[in-house]
Chain A
Amino acid sequence: MISLILTLMISLGGCWDRNELTSLAITTGAAFDKSKSPDLIALTAQVINLDTLAPAAVQSTIAAPPYWNIKTTGHTVFDCIRNASQQSPNKLYWAHNQIIIFSEDLAREKGVSEYLDFFLRDAEPRISIWVLVSKGKASDILEMDSKLEPIPSINITSLIENRRYTGKASAVDLYEFSNRLLSEATAPVMSLIELIGNGEERTPLLSGTAVFNQDSKMIGTLGEQETRGMLWVIDQFESGLLIVEAPGCDGQLGLEILNSSGRIKPELANGQLKIKVEIRASASLGDADCFVDILDENTWDSINKRQAEAIREDILISLQQAQKLKADIFGFGDAVFKKYPREWKDIKPDWEEIFSALEVEIDVQTTLLRPNMILQSVNKRS
């Protein structure tokens, strides 16, 4: 009896849910555009053509492009995906999907939450896939001719990873977007992508941030500097260059941020709410346009002061835009809720109004670490 049970156990394990590579269409990206009919959802799914990823010797005999964009419509996202099997010989497989792109008009008019439910509910997709908004049609982004990387959606994933070298675009995954959406106050955000150039030479540009309201509808955008301001405050600024005026000569300096941290401290005194933002950052001198005299006693301090000033400027401009949009992109509301849960009940109903007129104190402390390989510049002293 026991041996019968053991045999059964071995033979039954995982039977129904097995997946054979040859019967799968591995998707790497999904794009949602406005459909012609308001009741229908239009999905473009990017599928890898596995044959073209074969070793180079075999590859030269195959002329097909490395990917295929399947366009389907349906009443729900899942419906679209199942309808895709009417066109594709292989069933779409979502475990390796990297990105979801929404077109801007769709995000502004319909909101995105109804499109996200499937990706959270189904067991196949990862919760760490990136979400983006595209200026223009989302499916166009998946069709561009990418240069070094043959598959456009993988190319975009690399661009998102690269944002850590500039800090000029945000990187938001499905988890973080949902987490912000489920908050009582914080405004959800997504990365923003567009195509630049024309004709054959169109390339993607990842720049800035799309801002949503609590109904998951897009209400505005942040530019590059405003995005940086947000990243400083929410402690997600990884690295990037700060361009400051050089002291003592006519030119500019590039300071590379190496470390940074941001903290939000709400203070409630006499019924007056105030937010204190504390930024700590350190940078090194990355390049100089002109002869900057580091050996002069005051120069180093003065560059450091300009660094702090540049960061403060980023945050101020970001705050202005957020207050104009009445969107709490920094999570100030959550911080207030955590520190003053009782008072928050009274604040919550008017939070948008309170936020748009909120007094924010920005405290930036910076260090300038080193001038790197050369102490003096090759630029001639002016």
Chain B
Amino acid sequence: MLGSSVVLSPGLNAGSASWLTVVTGLALASPLVWMVIKLTGDYPGKTLVELNDVILGPLWGKIFSIMYLWYFFHLGAIVLRDFGDFMSTIMPTTPTSVFLLVTTALVAYLAKSGIEGIVRYSLIIVFFSFILLGLVFILVSNNLNLSSLLPVNSISAWQFLKASYEVTVFPFGEIIVYAMIIKYTNNYQKIKRSVITALILTCIFGSLFNIYVITGLGNYLEIPTYPGYAVIRRVDIFGIITRIDIGGATADLALGVLKASVMLYAVVLGISQILKLPTYTSIVLPVGTLMFLLSLIQFDSSVENFFFHETTYPYYAAFFQAFLPALTLSIDGFKKFLTRKTDKAAA
């Protein structure tokens, strides 16, 4: 979940109050999280695709599932593209497709190795990325100016809510993808706790990251393409430790690969369940290739990508993150209500 948020730093539109948007963003996302926990908790051992079939019947269940899977597929492609654009900015003459190709190859490999492979990868990568980001943070610390956090109320409440909502859909609302893989957790009872802990940790890290960007850049926050990266570019310890930007970029990229591989895994798993395939491994490469192609052709330029994130994505994502689960839950609730009534009538 942290992946592309570190590169694109959502919620920074709110100026000096941007670190708070992460907190309010999570608060706004809490109904979405509740829906995911409720759905998966009511149908233990079932993925999103399977429980759609149970709740909505075979036809509508599949239509809903296909919409979800499209969203995960598209989101994976967006994540890949975010990182492709980012790497191309650092290495301008290398074509974006090259970065997309090598990251997709790794993502496909991870998805093919299944949930266990992804989790093992994540353990190592999250550990090293955090050490790397922590190291960068220490090196940057003499450039941080805490007074940049003031004033807290520099923007109107409406602008603040808008910036918070951007954080809600990206990244918090994307928790919906965990409805696909949550059944693989060892202990069912702990799902609620682990999801909430993960979200709170993400929230703390996200706020800290935004604080670090705001205090590290000051007024300059308004202009860089990648604010987090701009902070790292400022590191200059006695002219000896300079240009450590590539370290930060590596950590970002490793986290992005993780996110994209979760998306790809969810898609191929869902497809195999819809089509009743014996195993999902055979379709990882074809679907991965399609994801690579979509990420390549969906935007003509990185500016189009930023524009999409600013304007279209918040509404587009809300359809999958809020509308579809809410509809599924209410139909489920209505059906349960009806059966209880008929049960009573029969009795």
Chain A residues within 8 Å of B, Cβ to Cβ: 1-2, 5, 8-9, 12-17, 95, 120, 123, 126-128, 175, 178-180, 182-183, 337-339, 341-342
Contact = CB atoms under 8 A, between A and B. Distances in A.
A95 B234 contact: no
Interface stretch (B4-12, B92-100, B254-262, B333-341): B92-100
B285 A1 contact: yes
A128 B150 contact: no
Contacts of A339: 150-151
Interface string B134-178: 000000000000010011011000000000000000000000000
B151 A128 contact: no
B223 A120 contact: yes
Interface residues of B, number: 32
A183 B147 CA distance: 14
Interface of B: 89-95, 98, 101-102, 105-106, 108-109, 147, 150-151, 153-154, 217-220, 222-223, 230, 233-234, 236, 242-243, 285
A95 B90 CA distance: 12
Nearest to B16: A338
Given A179-B218, A182-B220, A127 B95 contact: no
A119 to B, nearest CB: 12
A16 B217 CA distance: 31
A123 B102 contact: no
A162 to B, nearest CB: 13
Contact of A178 (B109, B153, B220): B220
Given A16-B93, A126-B243, A128-B242, A338 B218 contact: no
A152 to B, nearest CB: 18
Given A8-B102, A12-B102, A126-B236, 12 more contacts: A5-B108, A8-B101, A12-B101, A14-B91, A16-B98, A123-B92, A128-B242, A175-B234, A178-B223, A179-B217, A182-B219, A339-B151
Q: Which of B102, B220, B223 has the most CB of A within 10 A?
A: B220
Nearest to B112: A2
Given A179-B218, A338-B147, A17 B91 contact: yes
A9 B151 contact: no
Given A17-B93, A182-B220, A338-B150, A127 B230 contact: yes
Contacts of B98: 12, 15-16
Contacts of B217: 179
B109 A2 contact: yes
Contacts of B220: 175, 178-179, 182
12 contacts: A5-B109, A14-B91, A127-B233, A128-B242, A179-B218, A179-B219, A179-B220, A180-B219, A182-B222, A338-B147, A341-B151, A341-B153
Contact of B94 (A5, A9, A15): A15
